[in-house]
Amino acid sequence: MPENLPAPQAVDSPITGSAIFIVATLGAGNEHAATVRAWCADVAGLVRAVGKRVPDGNLSCICGFASDAWDRLFGGPRPASLHPFREFGEGHRRAVATPGDVLLHIRADRMDLCFELAAQLMHGLGGAVSVVDEVHGFRYFDMRSIIGFVDGTENPAGDDAVRFTIVGDEDSPFAGGSYVLVQKYLHDMAAWNDLTVEAQERIIGRSKLSDIELDEAAKPSWSHSALTTLVEDGEEVKILRDNMPFGQPGKGEFGTFFIGYARTPAPIEQMLENMFVGRPPGNYDKLLDFSRAVTGSLFFVPSADMLEALAGREPDARAVAAQPVGSMGS
Ligand code: HEM
């Protein structure tokens, strides 16, 4: 970690067995904004209190705030690259933008830890927010996504994870922060399982059993791996993913909760453009023939110190009053 960088929230948390993702919208009215602001100072204490009950349970929580919510809750200054989630693609292949002001990404090795922390955090928020999506994710065999391929292999680790995910001097008031994009995907498992393993491998760009990348000659330009590999000035630009499978087999629901952290939203958005529109346009990610994005939101994750300090911030009342009504509460 570079010296003098404010401590980030637990962006680079160890891989855990369980996670809860909660996306909520902020209620209209100053009293609700005040509740959420005050709650920001309580988050770290709640993580400590619940985490202490199982010291090696790796409990962590990340709180993120979407663009309009940032203005309502905290006013200016605002993170340089924070904007509402932009949609990509069209028709059946569309990365949709859905409502969401606050994100909680709770991780632990045991679901009881995640569950207890989620309950405590939601108790603190009370009626100030309405939950629009809550997903309980589980680790599936040897880190496999629900479609049977190992997920997360090419994630950056150690110093690289920090370099690719944590804001530095480029936006010094927000150093130690991060950007996070979430999308909930549902898969057509019957159609996916009708493919041969070789066809699935060409779509992902890796072998299913061994998780080894296909040779360049065998890997199609429309594979997931090819389209999400970004190279700038000869260097690969990475993001940090901690996707989780979820679902309800009894209802035929099989999903992937995608979560990607980066130092600016740009690389994640470029990957979405490559996947949904195609690189070049039309050469899209064939994983999307079997997977549909049903949610999508972008958030800024302030550093751990800033999260606590935000409790004392009051947005400029005139600036908030001047906001268009449509930007409030979504
Ligand atoms: C339908 C949901 C998704 C599933 C099931 C999925 C699954 C996978 C799998 C199995 C891999 C190969 C192993 C690995 O390196 O992790 C992979 C790689 C990757 N995925 Fe996804 N993914 C999904 C959505 C996304 C989205 C929306 C993005 C970005 C916006 C993304 C970005 C990446 C990146 C950057 C890699 C590594 C590519 C490389 O360096 O080879 N994925 N994904």
> Helices 111-125 and 43-51 meet at what angle, rounded to 10?
150
Residue 317, pLDDT score = 55
Residue 4, pLDDT score = 80
CB atoms within 10 A of CB 322: 8
CA of residue 242 to ligand 1 center, whole Å: 10
The answer for residues whose C-beta is within 8 angstroms of residue 109's C-beta and 6 or more apart is 16, 17, 18, 54, 56, 57, 58
**What span, in angstroms and rounded, lies between the C-alpha atoms of 88 and 106?**
27
The residue whose CB lies within 8 Å of the most ligand 1 atoms, and thus the one to mutate among 258, 274, 277, is: 258
CB atoms within 10 A of CB 248: 9
Asked if 109 and 16 touch (Cβ cutoff 8 Å), the reply is yes
Asked if 293 and 185 touch (Cβ cutoff 8 Å), the reply is yes
Which residues, given as ranges, of the chain have pLDDT below 50? 318, 321-330
Task: For residue 317, tell me if it sits in a domain.
Answer: no
Residue 322, pLDDT score = 46
> DSSP for 98-151?
---SEEEEEEESSHHHHHHHHHHHHHHHGGGEEEEEEEEEE-BTTTB-TTSSB-
**What span, in angstroms and rounded, lies between the C-alpha atoms of 257 and 139?**
12
Q: Is 188 a catalytic residue?
A: no
Task: For residue 6, tell me if it sits in a domain.
Answer: no
**What span, in angstroms and rounded, lies between the C-alpha atoms of 265 and 294?**
20
Asked if 33 and 321 touch (Cβ cutoff 8 Å), the reply is no
CA of residue 152 to ligand 1 center, whole Å: 7
pTM listed for this prediction: 0.95
Task: For residue 10, tell me if it sits in a domain.
Answer: no
The residue whose CB lies within 8 Å of the most ligand 1 atoms, and thus the one to mutate among 180, 183, 214, 228, is: 228
Is the CA virtual torsion 196, 270, 304, 36 positive or negative?
Answer: negative
Residue 321, pLDDT score = 47
The verdict on the CB of residue 223 being under 6 Å from ligand 1 is no
The verdict on the CB of residue 10 being under 6 Å from ligand 1 is no
CA of residue 208 to ligand 1 center, whole Å: 14
Residue 175, pLDDT score = 98
> DSSP for 27-87?
PSSHHHHHHHHHHHTTHHHHHHHHHTTSTTS--EEEEEE-HHHHHHHH-SS--TT--PPPP
Maximum Cα–Cα distance for the chain, whole Å?
60
Q: Please, what is the Cα angle at 234 between 228 and 240, to 5 degrees?
A: 40
> DSSP for 155-180?
---HHHHHHHHS--GGGGGGTT-EEE
The verdict on the CB of residue 153 being under 6 Å from ligand 1 is yes
Which range of residues forms the domain containing residue 173? 18-311
CA of residue 287 to ligand 1 center, whole Å: 10
**What span, in angstroms and rounded, lies between the C-alpha atoms of 138 and 109?**
10
- For the chain, what is the radius of gyration of the CA atoms? 20
**What span, in angstroms and rounded, lies between the C-alpha atoms of 232 and 263?**
15
Task: For residue 307, tell me if it sits in a domain.
Answer: yes
The verdict on the CB of residue 229 being under 6 Å from ligand 1 is yes
The verdict on the CB of residue 289 being under 6 Å from ligand 1 is no
Number of domains in the chain: 1
The verdict on the CB of residue 149 being under 6 Å from ligand 1 is yes
Using the atom order of ligand 1, give the atom closest to the CA of residue 187: 1
Tokens representing residue 83 in the block: 């904007």
**What span, in angstroms and rounded, lies between the C-alpha atoms of 296 and 183?**
4
Q: 120: closest CA among 61, 58, 184?
A: 61
* Three-state DSSP state, 330: coil
The verdict on the CB of residue 225 being under 6 Å from ligand 1 is yes
Residue 315, pLDDT score = 83
Task: For residue 40, tell me if it sits in a domain.
Answer: yes
CA of residue 74 to ligand 1 center, whole Å: 33
CA of residue 64 to ligand 1 center, whole Å: 22
Question: Which residue CA neighbors atom 16 of ligand 1 most closely?
Answer: 152
Task: For residue 90, tell me if it sits in a domain.
Answer: yes
Q: Please, what is the Cα angle at 178 between 19 and 61, to 5 degrees?
A: 30
The residue whose CB lies within 8 Å of the most ligand 1 atoms, and thus the one to mutate among 241, 256, 285, 297, is: 241
CA of residue 232 to ligand 1 center, whole Å: 19
Task: For residue 12, tell me if it sits in a domain.
Answer: no
Asked if 310 and 81 touch (Cβ cutoff 8 Å), the reply is no
**Catalytic one among 12, 151, 242, 285?**
151
Task: For residue 259, tell me if it sits in a domain.
Answer: yes
Using the atom order of ligand 1, give the atom closest to the CA of residue 183: 27
Residue 2, pLDDT score = 66
